[in-house]
Every structure is written in structure tokens, then in C-alpha cells.
Structure 1
Amino acid sequence: MTLYPLKFEPLYKYRLWGGEKLKTQLNKEYTETSIGESWEISDVKGDETKVLEGDLQGQTLKQLIQTYKGAFVGESVYKEFGEDFPLLIKFIDAKTPLSIQVHPSNELAKERHDSFGKNEMWYVMQADKDAELIVGFEKEIDKAEYQKQLEDDTVLEVMHHETVAKGDTFYIPTGRIHAIGSGVLLAEIQQTSDVTYRIYDYNRVDATTGKERELHNDLALDAIDFTYHSDFKTSYETKVNTANTLVHSPYFKTNFIKVENTLEKDYSQLDSFVIYMCVSGSLDIACSGENYSLKTGETLLLPASITAVTLKASEADLLEIYL
């Protein structure tokens, strides 16, 4: 069976901080309330997304990799990761702030949880007035001072708060303390991992359980990178019909593409699958004589065997993701 561009059925996740923007702004269809995350492409155990349409409908990423191997993910990707798909792709809507958290490195995650680490990035799609993110520390700080701030319930005072707007991008390597603030809708690209250490959660109670959520400060202490940085935001260009470098890390590469009219994409030299996240507008994708549509809030995976596509749009913004 010939591989083709694939959409997956999203998995919608209840979060006590979730809102309605996934439905009202990204046109996601669900009936539950407080949905904070749409998992677009996932190989997390127990949370595997399935192909939405076509001959491969209902298949998971693992099933596709087992069948098609390098033709699906790329020969070098298959050699490194085997039947594990390496990325988790999400849209996130924070009506209220997420907990202050940190993710363990690959080494710690493997040792403690038999998991990948969780290096990730955020691309802000929409932000309410004065909405902010928390990324890293506001000043030089050591482990002892940090622990004192935790004990005094003043840890927020040493965090770096940054007001954000549409298009703002942040790379969050493992070890960097972070949180999404209220009023932010964003796209998240990360390693396949669901390991998070909560540090601070505003002493709030989850309405579904009647309890405060668990904190993981003992585990987090060894995972935190206390290095101070003066600037956390990623700068990038927005040239039309160009793959503008956004975040290129050892774990994934993401480019920003503003599509206007027609753009031919040649992936013959790329030994990887490609994921498109449409973050604004809509477009048509022509591939092997077939046409596929993609609109704001939708995600499409091009198997590695697809080496050429044509993108057509009056105007659309894409995140292009690959290994």
C-alpha cells in the first residue's frame, strides 16, 4: 500500500487550567469542558493517535512503523528509534496558568522512568492582552537560594515572566523551569515523553478530585538547570515561501514557512518524516496527483517516502517539523 499524507484523530485532554479556545479558535470538535490539550500526533503508551482517513485509517504510529519502517519515518530515524515515534505534537490552551514545572534530561528520564527526556518548544498562536509565559530564572540563583524561595512560598518572584504575542517562540530544553500563563494558545513540539515535575501549583484544588495536585520537588531539584540567561525568546525571519529556521535542536528541527501563492517543496535529500502544523490561514497540498487540505489548528504528517509536495495558499503560516 502506498503511503500518503496523514492526518490523525486528535486526543483531547482535560486539564484544570483548560479553556475553550481549541474549540472556538481552532475548530476542534468535542463536548467535554476544560480541554487544555489537543494531542495531534502521539506515540505515548496508552495515548496513541490513529490515522483519521484513507486506506490506513485507524492505524497507530507504531503499526505504521512496524509495516513501513524507514519508508515511514526515514532510514536514519528508524535506525535510531526503532518502532518508537520520537515526537509528540500538541496544541495547548491555557485559560488559567499551568503549574511551574521542569522536565528531566534524557539521562535522568531513562534512569527514573525508562522514558525519553522532554526537550520542547512553544510557538504562540494567540495571546490575550498582557498574557505571559514563565521561562527560566530572572536572576542568578543557586540551589540553596531556590530551596529557600520554595519554603517561603516566594518562588514566583525569582522566575522570568515574559509578556507574549502571536508568533513568539521559545525553546525549552530539559532542566529549564517554565509555565504557560493564562490566556495563551500555542503549538508545542516535544520529544515523546509525558514526564513532568511540578514545582509550584498556586495551591489550587482540582475540581474533579477535590485535592491539590501532587508536587515533585524532590525529583525536580536534581533536574533543574540553574543557569541564568538574559534572553529566552527565539528570533527568526519570516521571509515568504522560505523555510525560515525557527528551532533546530538535537531532538527536532522546526522551520517557519509563510506560504503565499505556490511553493514547491523538495524533500529528496531529507531522510525523515515531515510534520506540518498550520498555525494561521489554510492551504492545499498537492502530492502524487492527490490534493489535501490543511487549515488553522490542523496537523499533517508526510511519510519519509514522500519527496515532493506543492503548497498552495493565498496566505498561510506553517510550522515545518522533522528530524
Structure 2
Amino acid sequence: MEKQIYKISPFFEPRIWGGDRILKKFNYQTDLYPIGEVYNVVALPGEADCKVEGTDLTLSDLYRDYPDWFKCDTEQLPIRVNLLDPLADLSVQLHPDDAYALVHDHSRGKPEAWVILDTPEDGKIEFGHHAHTREEFKTLADAHDWGKLLKYLPAKKDYFIDIPAGTLHAIGRDVLTYNISRNADLTYRLFDYDRIDPNTKEHRELHIDKVVDNVLVPDTSKGFVWYEPYLKSNCEVIDYWDEPGLYGLSRVKVKDFGFYDLARFAFITVVDGEGTINNTPVIKGETVLIPDGISQLKFTGSLDMFIASYKNLAETRE
């Protein structure tokens, strides 16, 4: 198969806290309902796996069959991208580190990061906690004393927030986010507002003991960070994160035209506008894969894009 830019079809999963607003906002089509989260890049074989448009391949197939398109040091595609627009607060949760996830759930941990795309004036997120020791955390959690335990922050539009493994967090109602994470799907819930799953007619499963095992104590979370944009080759660029073995993330805005150089493969998700990427037409909501080796990009139109990539651990020594 010729190495070229391919569009990646979104993967939808119904969520108890979703609806159809995100579908309307990004012009998505699906018969599933309610949707609050869209996986723009996910490659978990047999579970959640995006389709590669114009082929009969899933993204995990492509990663397996065409390794030179990625040149990664991981067995599976290392990164995941999703857009999330909840109509109700998400459960208060965390993700474990790799060591714990492997032993207890035969999975990988899922450090992640968000950029807030939009928020109402009263938008908020749960982030971190007030406990000083693990024993205090467990006591407050067992007592369901959420007012004393949980820490909330006002959501800040266009700000970035890093969420290492073990960090307690939850996106609040109506806070629209772009999310990047490791390509994994392991979540431990602490609190879910006593919601009933409409499919099982039961409360959703909680994992309080696993949360207590993994939560970072004391809480040293930093909250939201603002990164200043800079101009380069007619593009407005923000570089958020670039950690070998985890992920890299930048945001690029273009009006009329601009040029951008890539060092590695990348997934580009358009969150607003329309235009072209190396003559491939793109609109809001679409994601394209730029295979490794296609290093020079030309953008035309009016585009607001996130560029997600990955550097191998060995690159820290190069």
C-alpha cells in the first residue's frame, strides 16, 4: 500500500453521561446513543479500533502490517486521541501506572492530558484531593465525605492540564476537551454520583480499593497551565508536551496557508475550520494520519488542529 495521508474514521461508544451534542458540533454520524466521547485515534484490537478510510484495515491492522509508517518501539500503537463533551459530570476516577495495571488487570496504565476547547462560565473539573495521608484518603472515601476529600478547579478555555497516573480527576458537565493519552483503556472509579447504568439497571462498578492503592499522596497536582503560542512559517503554534515513551502534542492554527515540519508520524485532528493538508481536504471533526517520512506539510484554508505524535525512548539518547 502506498505511503500517503489517510483519514481515520472516528470510533463511537455510548456513554451514560452523553447525548448527541458532540455529533452535531463535529458533524459526526452514528446510530449509537448517547454519545459523549469520540475516539479519533484508538487501536485496541477486538475492542475499540478506528477504521482507516479507503482501505479494509483498522488502525491496529495498519500499525501491525506497515510498521515503517510509524517506526515505534511499542507492540501496539502507543497513543490515543479523543474528543469529549459530557452532558453530566464524569465519574471521579484515576488511571494506574503500568506496573500496577499489568499485575492487576493485564493492561497498561493511561497517563493523559487535556486541552479545554470550551466551557461554560461555571464549568469545572475535579482534580486532585485534600487528604494528607493515604489513611486519611481512605477514611474520607469510606465515609463518602466528598466535600472534604475532592478538589475542584474552574475550567479554563484553551489551557492545558497534565494528568499523570494516579491523579484523581473528572471532567465536569459541558466542558469540551481534546484528550491525548496512552493507547489503553483502564479506569478505576472512586465516585459516580450513585448513577444507574440503563443497560444493567444497576449502579456502575466502583474500584475504591484500587483507587486507594494508586492515588498520589500527598496531592502535588499543578492544575491548568497556559502555553504561549509562537509564529512559524505562517502558522500559530503551541507546543504542549514532548516526552519520549509517552506522547507529543502541539496545536496549530492557520489562516490562508502555512507550512509545518514533522520529525515523526502524526495524527492531526481538526477541531475547527476547513481546508487542506498537502492537498487532502479536511473539515472540523476529521483526523488524518501522516505516516513517518512525510515530513513537510502545507496547510491551506482556516484550520485549528491538534498534532499528536510519539517519540521512542531511545530518542532520548540520540
TM over 0.5: yes
1:144 counterpart residue number: 135
Partner Cα distance (2:21, 2:114) in 1: 16
Residue 313 of structure 1 and its aligned partner are, at CA, apart by: 2.3
1:252 paired to 2:243: no
Q: How far is 1:247 from its partner?
A: 2.4
Q: Are the equivalent residues in 2 in contact too, given 1:134–1:178 (CA < 8 A)?
A: yes
2:110 counterpart residue number: 118
Aligned match of 2:2: 2
Give 1:305's aligned residue: 293
1:135 paired to 2:124: no
Q: What's 2:74 paired with?
A: 81
Residue of 187, 190, 197 corresponding to 1:199: 190
Matches within 5 A, 1:38-77: 38-46=38-46, 47-53=48-54, 57-70=55-68, 72-74=69-71, 77=72
Question: Does the 8 A contact of 2:12 with 2:37 survive in 1?
Answer: yes
Partners of 2:24 and 2:138 lie apart in 1 by: 41
Q: Secondary structure at the match of 1:44?
A: coil
Secondary structure at the aligned position of 1:48 is classed as coil
Aligned pair partner of 1:166 in 152, 157, 177: 157
1:102 aligned partner: 94
Task: Measure the CA separation in 2 of the matches of 1:106 and 1:319.
Answer: 26
**In 1: Cα distance, 2:254 partner to 2:236 partner:** 8
**Structure 2 residue matching 1:141: 3-state secondary structure:** coil
Residue 229 (structure 1) shift:
3.2
Shift in alpha-carbon separation, 1:157–1:283, aligned structure 2, 3 A: farther
Contact between 2:89 and 2:173, CA under 8 Å: does it hold in 1? yes
Q: Verify the 8 A CA contact 2:270 2:305 in the aligned structure 1.
A: yes
Q: CA deviation at 1:58?
A: 2.3
1:25 aligns with 2:39: no
Q: 1:231 to 1:176 in 2, by over 3 A?
A: same
Offset at 1:252?
0.3
Whole-Å separation in 2 of the counterparts to 1:141 and 1:85: 37
The equivalent residue for 1:224 is 215
Judge conservation of contact 2:113–2:180 (CA < 8 Å) in 1. Answer: yes
CA distance in 1, matches of 2:197, 2:131: 33
CA distance in 1, matches of 2:280, 2:276: 6
Cα drift, residue 36 of structure 1: 1.7
Structure 1 contact 21–185 (Cα < 8 Å) conserved: no
Q: Alignment partner of 2:282: what SS?
A: strand
Cα RMSD (Å): 1.7
Kept in 2, the 8 Å contact 1:104–1:223? The answer is yes
Structure 1 unaligned regions, length at least 5: none
Alpha-carbon deviation of 1:156? 4.4
Tell me whether 1:266 sits opposite 2:272 in the alignment: no
CA contact under 8 A between 2:268 and 2:289: conserved in structure 1? yes
Q: Is the 8 A contact 1:239 1:258 kept in 2?
A: no
Q: Which residue of 1 aligns with 2:313?
A: none
Distance 2:192 2:247 in 1: 29
State how far apart, in whole Å, the 2-side matches of 1:93 and 1:170 are. 16
* Equivalent residue letter for 1:27: N
Counterpart for residue 176 of structure 1: 167
State the shift of 1:242 in Å. 4.2
Residue correspondences, number: 305
The AA in structure 2 aligned to 1:69 is P
Asked if the contact 1:43/1:61 (under 8 Å) is kept, the reply is: yes
Output the TM-score relative to the length of structure 1.
0.89
Contact 1:18–1:94 (Cα < 8 Å) also in 2:
yes
Q: 1:93-136 deviations in whole A, cap 9, x for unaligned?
A: 21001110010101111222232210111112222231111111
Q: Deviations over 1:28-68 (max 9, x none)?
A: 11233211211112111322111122xxx121223223332
Alpha carbons 1:20, 1:93 under 8 Å: kept: no
Partner of 1:279: 271
Please say which of residues 26-35 and 189-198 is displaced more in the overlay: 26-35
Taking structure 2 as the reference length, the TM-score comes to 0.90
With 93-102 and 143-152 compared, the bigger mean Cα shift is at 143-152
Aligned partners of 1:313 and 1:239: how far apart in 2? Answer: 19
Offset at 1:292?
1.1
The alignment partner of 1:246 has SS state of: strand
Confirm or deny: 8 A CA contact 1:235 1:246 kept in the other structure. Answer: no
Deviations 1:234-284 (A, max 9, x none): 2201234143211233400101212223222222xx2x3111121222231
